[in-house]
Structure 1
């Protein structure tokens, strides 16, 4: 049998690996539009996004507390449950990364945590009120992203309708660097906290800390793992998000990034772990729809949405399987 301390170290390692895979998988959220419109080079984009992800992770710990104590009962969770949840989420991230699908690491982690917890202690360990609030925010955020992206694009079109195309393109290519930075910061503020919450949950269940207050070393290590993953860049998803949904110009990239970042910083403030992937993807759709509905490649979009629907149950099934396997050895 594994010692508890050894299992806890395994859980922390898996959480940091998940955070790295989250950054790698979601790198496209921050850089796809700025790379596809050639506002900056890919190397500059991923390096800057990685640094800003780290900075954003220090914004607050509200999302981490939701993950750590708002979804399942911390006292009913074991190290094996957390390890199974992380393993399921990581494998799902890798599968969808290889397929080039911008799915939600947040959904994968939440699905994994619920799946492993139910496999361990049944449905009574799930906090349905907290889960419902998170799910409502996750469903609402893509619609908000679409609406804000569309509204910003309409407003920009009205304001700059007399400007020459060349002048506007040059202006928004520069402004897009600012909006991409805003998006990268908000991505770190929302997504890095999810691994913080899962490590804190493991520390509480292992009796290492008494409450779900996130230790400083957890914040720092998760921020670094997320930043390094983002800097690695998930180029398959960059191509899907930045080039295959709709043909983007700098003005579209600026509107999409600004709209998505507004949604993400708002939800991070209220401690709601929404999907950065869903938000930026639907914002890109909203921006593209301003041209005309046919500008959005709905065949690609339908494939992405199908993957979104499968993420929660898929990650939950993987996580429950990993938990049952791990439980045989601990």
Structure 2
């Protein structure tokens, strides 16, 4: 068993570890709203999210191909494996830092920032147009879409049910949140699990284990299982931020936010094959729903802290990945 193969095995295991941290880091995206409105208990919500994450991860691999082949040029040889390894270390480190402080930052952008940072450290070419088209523009547009659609959809619900009995309507929307939580987790699986599939496939291609950038089925199963396991482990720190600290949501508001966020995630995965941030979309959908009461109903101080985490995620994960590349290259090289 040569060193290159051992290195490949290590990268696959680290990628699955990242996938696991992605699951517990972003589990709050799918279930925090349903838990905060008491539509579901935390453990039932986590189990539902884990199952639907698994289903979503098995549906397609279009986002995986975008992440693995559309951000940096596929590297070759041992140096290429070092780039992939360093990118994962940068992403995992940033995930753990933001998880510890309860900040719902983007695991997607942490991974992409890690890829770019490691590639730059290795003097390897970055597909800057790919970064602009598939990362930067969606990073700006998707939160705006989430906010706008959340606001409009909540207005439509308020108008439609303006004469309804409040207690009966709340019971109905709590039941509807079971469905919307499931679709949220489905969209999360279609987005975030595929990013790990793309990284593992990139490592396999770099090591010469596969001849074309097609995601092997065992990679799909492994990534889907890891993110589902991480989701069930839960992310209660971030759940508190998403479910309560941004705004106190009603069952109707929770249903509206989840429906909008899941629709955007599924559409971007299936139609555009763009790796958007599930965190960004969910958070801004909640803000849009809350703004239908009044702008002051949203706790903009908390929202501001979250936005700062969004802005620094790409460069911070990239910086950690660059350091990880230099350290790994020093010892391995």
Alignment TM-score, normalising by the size of structure 1? 0.98
Kindly state the Cα deviation for residue 58 of structure 1 after the two structures are TM-superposed. 1.1
What corresponds to 1:68 in structure 2? Answer: 68
The 10-residue stretch of structure 1 (100-109 or 73-82) with the greater mean CA deviation from structure 2: 73-82
Kindly state the Cα deviation for residue 149 of structure 1 after the two structures are TM-superposed. 0.7
Gaps of 5+ in 2: none
1:274-330 deviation per Cα after TM superposition (whole angstroms, max 9, x unaligned):
000000000000000001101100010111111111100000000000011000122
What corresponds to 2:224 in structure 1? Answer: 223
Kindly state the Cα deviation for residue 85 of structure 1 after the two structures are TM-superposed. 0.2
The 10-residue stretch of structure 1 (297-306 or 129-138) with the greater mean CA deviation from structure 2: 129-138
2:104 to 99, 102, 105: 102
The answer to whether 1:161 aligns with 2:162 is: yes
Kindly state the Cα deviation for residue 55 of structure 1 after the two structures are TM-superposed. 0.4
Partner SS for 2:209 = coil
Kindly state the Cα deviation for residue 75 of structure 1 after the two structures are TM-superposed. 3.3
1:14-163 counterparts in 2 under 5 A? 14-76=14-76, 78-122=80-124, 125-134=125-134, 135-163=136-164
Q: Distance in 2 between the 1:279 and 1:157 partners? A: 22
Kindly state the Cα deviation for residue 18 of structure 1 after the two structures are TM-superposed. 0.4
What corresponds to 2:180 in structure 1? Answer: 179
What corresponds to 1:248 in structure 2? Answer: 249
Q: Distance in 2 between the 1:326 and 1:9 partners? A: 16
Q: Distance in 1 between the 2:99 and 2:315 partners? A: 17
2:290 to 288, 291, 306: 288
Partner SS for 2:328 = helix
What corresponds to 1:209 in structure 2? Answer: 210
Kindly state the Cα deviation for residue 8 of structure 1 after the two structures are TM-superposed. 0.5
Kindly state the Cα deviation for residue 131 of structure 1 after the two structures are TM-superposed. 1.0
Q: Distance in 2 between the 1:107 and 1:151 partners? A: 27
1:100-136 deviation per Cα after TM superposition (whole angstroms, max 9, x unaligned):
00000001000000000110124xx101121111121
User: How many residue pairs get matched?
Assistant: 327
Kindly state the Cα deviation for residue 152 of structure 1 after the two structures are TM-superposed. 0.7
Q: Distance in 1 between the 2:129 and 2:71 partners? A: 8
Kindly state the Cα deviation for residue 259 of structure 1 after the two structures are TM-superposed. 0.1
In angstroms, what is the RMSD of aligned CA positions? Answer: 0.9
Q: Distance in 2 between the 1:127 and 1:311 partners? A: 19
1:272 to 271, 274, 282: 274
Partner SS for 1:155 = helix
1:130-183 deviation per Cα after TM superposition (whole angstroms, max 9, x unaligned):
111112112111111111111110000110000011111111011111111110
Q: Distance in 1 between the 2:169 and 2:100 partners? A: 36
The 10-residue stretch of structure 1 (164-173 or 85-94) with the greater mean CA deviation from structure 2: 164-173
